[in-house]
Amino acid sequence: MATTITITGAGGQIGYALLFRIAAGDMLGADEKVRLRLLEIPQGMAAAEGAALELQDGAFDLLEHVEVTDDPAVGFDGCNIALLVGARPRGPGMERGDLLAANAGIFGPQGEAISAHAASDVRVAVVGNPANTNALIAASHADGVPAERFTALTRLDENRARAQLALALDAPVSGIRRVAIWGNHSATQFPDISHATVDGRPIETALAERVGDVSAWQETTFIPRVAKRGAEIIEVRGSSSVASAASATIDHVRDWVHGTEWTSAGVVSFGEYGVPEGLVSSFPVRSVGGRWEIIEGLELDEWARARLDASVAELVDEREAVRALGMV
């Protein structure tokens, strides 16, 4: 049987970059047929309908069906995987948290529609910003759907971190593993290399040979570069990241469904590493049997703990802000 995938905001930039890769089998594999539901608001319908015509013209072997709708009941009907992309992107000079008021209203009704109409095995990946808190809102409105099925995309941050490490080491990105992203998909996030390896060797040892003082390099170069990469992209290209975001979304879902030993994702906290229960925070995770598990027992020194706490404090503030708006 085919997998039904709902893409909200399918008429937007990331939607356009996602659809054809999903239809080509990049997300679920070359043997898995897919049915696509393109969910938009009325203003976005024409763009989504145009994308649907192009999907037809792609003559994808794996693509069984495409439906374009602005009705969430239709869009989420029988959905196995929901990619919640539809939301306003930020512009120059904005932080992602500035989108809270504009976008938070989207995710409560979508959580309700998922609860009412999606398949019982539904998995949700929130891409629309601020992704962690939007995932929290959607989960809190989805009665009967386990909270751990709602996730927020921080794989883009992990991919950015691995790419920066590869550049610093002049090494292929494929050899770089066990980089962790902690906290919020925001400028406070903590990209953590203390457990990372390059070709099986501790990455901090390899970095010391290149950059000298690894702690100083992390503080002044690596962490700001990764955490502010979204803003850098906006500054350089005039609008926020698209193809890299779509690619990371595909990585996130592929690893969730097919399994991985180590990646990072925004998942609901059950109190791991002292992160308050119920927050959607990024953690290092593995996927086993189609479920994310937070990788527990990693050492966090005082400096790392302070970095994680600062990002979690921001998530707590965001939760308070949406509570004040009556959205959770």
Residues forming contacts to ligand LMR in the complex (CB under 6 A) are 89-90, 96, 129, 156, 230, 233, 240-241, 245
250 binds, options ligand LMR, ligand NAD, none, Cβ within 5 to 8 A by partner type: none
Point out which residues pair with 192 in neighbouring strands. Answer: 180
13 binds, options ligand LMR, ligand NAD, none, Cβ within 5 to 8 A by partner type: ligand NAD
Is the CB of 125 or the CB of 203 nearer to ligand NAD? 125
Is the CB of 9 or the CB of 191 nearer to ligand NAD? 9
Residue nearest to ligand LMR (CB): 230
266 binds, options ligand LMR, ligand NAD, none, Cβ within 5 to 8 A by partner type: none
Give the torsion through C-alpha atoms of 291, 158, 267, 250, to 10 deg. Answer: -50
185 a catalytic residue: yes
34 binds, options ligand LMR, ligand NAD, none, Cβ within 5 to 8 A by partner type: none
- Report in angstroms how near the CB of residue 6 gets to ligand NAD at its nearest: 10
Distance separating the N- and C-terminal Cα atoms of the chain: 35
- Report in angstroms how near the CB of residue 177 gets to ligand LMR at its nearest: 22
Burial readout 74-83 (b: 16 or more C-beta within 10 A, e: otherwise): ebbbebbbbb
The set of residues, in sequence order, having a beta carbon less than 8 Å from that of 60 and lying 6+ positions away, is: 20, 23, 24
- Report in angstroms how near the CB of residue 162 gets to ligand LMR at its nearest: 15
Tell me how many degrees the CA angle 326-110-256 measures, rounded to the nearest 5: 115
Quickly tell me which residue has 């119920």 as its tokens: 278
Q: For the chain, what is the radius of gyration of the CA atoms?
A: 19
206 binds, options ligand NAD, ligand LMR, none, Cβ within 5 to 8 A by partner type: none
- Report in angstroms how near the CB of residue 201 gets to ligand NAD at its nearest: 29
Is the CB of 115 or the CB of 244 nearer to ligand LMR? 244
- Report in angstroms how near the CB of residue 63 gets to ligand LMR at its nearest: 27
Spatial distance between the Cα atoms of 286 and 217, rounded to a whole number of angstroms: 28
233 binds, options ligand NAD, ligand LMR, none, Cβ within 5 to 8 A by partner type: ligand LMR
Q: How many CB atoms lie within 10 A of CB 305?
A: 15
- Report in angstroms how near the CB of residue 22 gets to ligand NAD at its nearest: 15
Catalytic entry in 141, 185, 195, 252: 185
Spatial distance between the Cα atoms of 327 and 322, rounded to a whole number of angstroms: 5
The residue ranges of DSSP E strands in the chain, in sequence order, are: 3-8, 34-39, 63-69, 81-84, 123-126, 150-152, 176-177, 180-182, 190-192, 197-198, 201-202, 260-268, 280-288, 291-294
- Which parts of this chain interact with ligand NAD (CB under 6 A)? 8-9, 11-15, 39-41, 43-44, 47, 85-90, 106, 127-129, 131, 153, 156, 185, 240-242, 245
Q: What is the DSSP letter of 275?
A: P
Give the torsion through C-alpha atoms of 319, 323, 327, 328, to 10 deg. Answer: 70
Catalytic residues: 185
